[in-house]
A and B are shown apart, each in its own frame.
Chain A
Amino acid sequence: MIQPVSSARVFDVKIEMVPPGATPEQELERLEAHAQNRDSQHLDAVVLDADERGLENAVQWVRSFNDEYLRRQAATYPDTWENALQPQPSPTLRSIPPVLVVLASPSGLGGNLGEFEAKLAAGGAVVYEKPSQWELPANFVNRLREELAETYSRFWADEQSGEMEQEQETVRAPAGEPDLAPYLAPVYQLSEENFEALLERGRNPNPLETGD
């Protein structure tokens, strides 16, 4: 069951800004070096400040970054494919790139509202708005990290419940009868209290006014 945020473990999301002036190739080199460092935490996302480069240049940067990454990835085929398809593949042959986020301020979008965003997305980036209070990129990164950590805390608590591992084992088990346990969960057993509440809400023309 999904846990409330307050009781969930905080999920650490790692996000960095693309260094000012870095080319797509330089950024890929930096990310590869980061990935090869066994002690470093996985980098979830990198953020490109579109205002710094101008939107046309940002679109080009995003396309070049992703195309260059895909070219490098394709150069490893078919070894990585064959490895991945083994029952117990080696995890060392692949690097997972961070998600590319582009930060653009509404004023920068100007009269082309929506169109640059579509181009940036087609290039392979997620586009975020940079409100004026987030002028400093570091503020944006912190805010984004908090936002994602909250989303993930729910998700991670669910995933860490141990059920996933149990389910993995069922792959090797013969298929049996459908599990009826989910249908017997307490949610189907309406308590007297809940039943009264249901009746009350059904009679009351305006449940919001009763604070229900």
Chain B
Amino acid sequence: MADPFLLAHLVHPLFFDIGGRLAPVSIRDQMVRAHTAVDRGIEEGLIGPKRPLLVIGAGAAGATAAIRSAARGVPTVLVEAARGPFLRQAGCRTRWIDPVQYDWPVDHWQKGLYPPWFPPGMPLPWAADYANHISLAWALALNRARLRYPHLMVSYRTILMGKPILLPSRLLQVRLLSNGRALPLFLPVGMALSCVGAGTERSTHGNYSGFDFWSTDPFQKLETTDSVLISGGGDGALQDYLRIITGLSSAKEIYLRLGIPLSIEQALQSAEDQASRVYIWGRHARHDHTALSRLHQFHESLAAHLLARFPYLSQRLQTLTDRMPARVRLMYPCKHFSRCYGLNRFLVLLLATYLMQNRGEQTLWSGRSLSDVQGIVHSCNNSPSTCHGQPHFVNFAHHPDCRVPPGARLPEWSSEVIIVRHGIDPAPPLFAGTHPIAQPRQMLPYHIG
């Protein structure tokens, strides 16, 4: 097998991992990765009419892979540990999903369509909507595919059991545990594809439990008197900052209301591209420090220049921030945000620069992290709805540099709304030794043939 895409995701003989352990991934990236994995598997002769495909995980990637595979005539088994597909998004009425939202500023982004030169037949509807609406639309598409392709088998509450065994026939023997009992069946498959999700978002700190990333939250309906603290420097924290400051769900909607000149987009794209070339070969966050610092500074200076040069931007930002809460702070442990989508980075820094210049509001706190959170008047009991809106004392730790441990404690603060976005606890590996030779730390191109 010489296929570079498959080799990059190989974790065991005939077993490939395109799941959430990879970063960065967007919805678009997950779907394209899944689509490509299946097509490459067919081209390499790993799967075909007599060589079934096993897909583990019924999220956006898993369902895309399973439907694509079945549509191309491959017997396909899709298994999912939960009671149904797309359940992570199914209970969330407030978070917006747009597969191409973060393809900004590429041309197809504004149209909301996938690049028109991509082969047609992407298996899931390519729509933007609230998470629960998307969950339903995708679930319906998966069910329709099951009706259309009798060789597409879907089983919920089913997990992989043990380590797959490579048979002399070059098939992979896997065993599944379904609904609490082992299936009396060892499946021989031509290829297995893990599309297991990213893991659990860290939304708690000590005794304090904030709203989960994929839960319905009240962040866009806060009172103008509220005091809000967001802890974290990644996309989750940045998204929540944007939602709270503007009351809008979608970064794309915010951006389109501003009217940023195209030449600025091109400059930002160039800067993001230079940083992403560093990520590809680094392995850990500390290796990204220099690139992220420079990128952050570039966005900051560009935001300042834009506000000075184009007065209409300040007018529009004023309208967008009219109803924001009285105090909002986004704090992150370094001088820069973590690796995140360029659109989030740009919008947060533009809004923060505007608020600083025009209202004297310092909404960004760099170099600090949460130390202690203590409820006042009430006791925190691991329930977001109990703690939300209640006063809390917060202690901080100072971070002189994100590459070294935190230092001195900083003075405490108080806040009624605390949002914890501390990254993701990765899902445990499916079996020991599930590590690819080299994890590509980059988004996929829009079309790789």
Report A's interface with B, CB cutoff 8 A.
Answer: 1-2, 13, 42, 44-45, 63, 66-67, 70-71, 73-74, 77-78, 80-82, 84-91, 94, 96-101, 111-115, 117-129, 147-148, 151-152, 154-155, 158-159, 161, 163-164, 167-168, 170-172, 175, 178-180, 182-183, 185, 187-188, 198, 201-209
Contact = CB atoms under 8 A, between A and B. Distances in A.
B261 A1 contact: no
B371 to A, nearest CB: 26
Given A42-B147, A84-B152, A91-B150, A206 B178 contact: no
B391 interface: no
Closest 5 interchain pairs by CB?
Answer: A121-B91, A124-B83, A208-B259, A84-B153, A91-B150
A37 B397 CA distance: 65
Interface string B102-125: 000000000001111111111011
Contact of B120 (A148, A163, A208): A163
A152 B145 CA distance: 13
Given A124-B84, A164-B71, A171-B49, A98 B215 contact: no
A90 B75 CA distance: 12
Contacts of B88: 121
B141 A155 contact: yes
A186 to B, nearest CB: 9
Contacts of B141: 152, 155
Contacts of B153: 80-81, 84-85, 94
Interface in B424-449: 447, 449
Q: Sort chain B's interface into a size bin.
A: 35 or more
Contact of A85 (B75, B91, B312): B75
A158 B385 contact: no
Contacts of A123: 83
Given A2-B113, A78-B183, A147-B133, A164 B120 contact: yes
B385 A85 contact: no
Central interface residue in B82, B90, B143, by most chain A CB within 10 Å = B90
A6 to B, nearest CB: 15
Q: A42, A63, A74, A201: which has the most chain B beta carbons within 10 Å?
A: A74
Given A87-B50, A187-B117, A202 B43 contact: no
Contact of A182 (B117, B122, B179, B384): B117
A71 B83 CA distance: 11
Contacts of B350: none
Contacts of A119: 91
B448 to A, nearest CB: 9
Given A78-B184, A101-B136, A202-B262, 9 more contacts: A44-B144, A45-B136, A74-B181, A81-B153, A94-B153, A155-B125, A155-B141, A164-B121, A171-B49
A1 B118 CA distance: 8
A16 to B, nearest CB: 14
B121 A163 contact: yes
B57 interface: no
A82 B310 CA distance: 66
B185 A81 contact: yes
B158 to A, nearest CB: 9
A170 B72 contact: yes
B449 A179 contact: yes
A113 B449 contact: no
B92 A117 contact: yes
A126 B187 contact: no
Given A74-B179, A126-B136, A209-B259, A2 B126 contact: yes
B211 interface: yes
B273 to A, nearest CB: 18
A120 B310 contact: no
Contacts of A183: 117, 447, 449
B121 A158 contact: yes
Contact of B310 (A97, A158, A175, A205): A205
Given A120-B91, A168-B71, A151 B120 contact: no
B125 A125 contact: no
Nearest to B48: A171
29 contacts: A2-B114, A2-B120, A13-B140, A44-B140, A44-B144, A66-B84, A70-B157, A73-B155, A77-B184, A85-B75, A86-B75, A97-B143, A98-B143, A114-B91, A114-B384, A115-B384, A117-B215, A121-B88, A121-B90, A121-B91, A122-B87, A125-B90, A127-B216, A158-B120, A170-B42, A179-B449, A187-B117, A205-B309, A207-B259
B136 to A, nearest CB: 5
Given A70-B83, A101-B136, A118 B449 contact: no
Contacts of A161: 120-121
B218 interface: yes
A207 B266 CA distance: 14
B136 A94 contact: no
B110 to A, nearest CB: 10
A99 B140 contact: yes
B19 interface: no
A159 B310 CA distance: 45
Interface in B149-178: 150-153, 155-157, 178
Contacts of A151: 125, 127, 129, 137
Contact of B72 (A113, A158, A167, A175): A167
B263 interface: yes
A99 B137 CA distance: 10
B383 interface: yes
B250 interface: no
B117 A84 contact: no
Residue from B115, B124, B157, B187 having most chain A Cβ neighbours under 10 A:
B157
B205 interface: no
B151 A86 contact: yes
Q: Which of B84, B139, B263 is packed against the most chain A CB atoms within 10 Å?
A: B84
